[in-house]
Amino acid sequence: MPPRPSTDHIGNEFRMLPDESPRARFRRLAPKRVQEVIHRLRMIGNMSSSSYEYTPQEVTKILDALYSAALETGDIALTS
């Protein structure tokens, strides 16, 4: 059975290209996904402007969540 295509949050399909190996698919998709994460992190960083009001506790909560997600993702990738 061929692998099912997955979609991102806006419906773009990340289909395997014909004759594409799992390694090639990883190399094609990883840079795009990393750039998307970096973009989103910068958007969070933009919230440090004077247009927003936040407490140190809220900042800590955000950073803890991001750190936990990064560790979890790394653990999953390293144990696969």
pTM score > 0.75 for this model? no
Q: Is the pLDDT of residue 4 over 60?
A: no
pLDDT of 1 strictly over 50? no
What is the DSSP code (8-state) at residue 49?
A: S
Q: What is the 3-state secondary structure (H, E, C) of 8-70?
A: CCCCCEECCCCCCCHHHHHHHHHHHHHHHHHHHHHHHHHCCCCCCCCCHHHHHHHHHHHHHHH
Predicted pLDDT of residue 36: 97
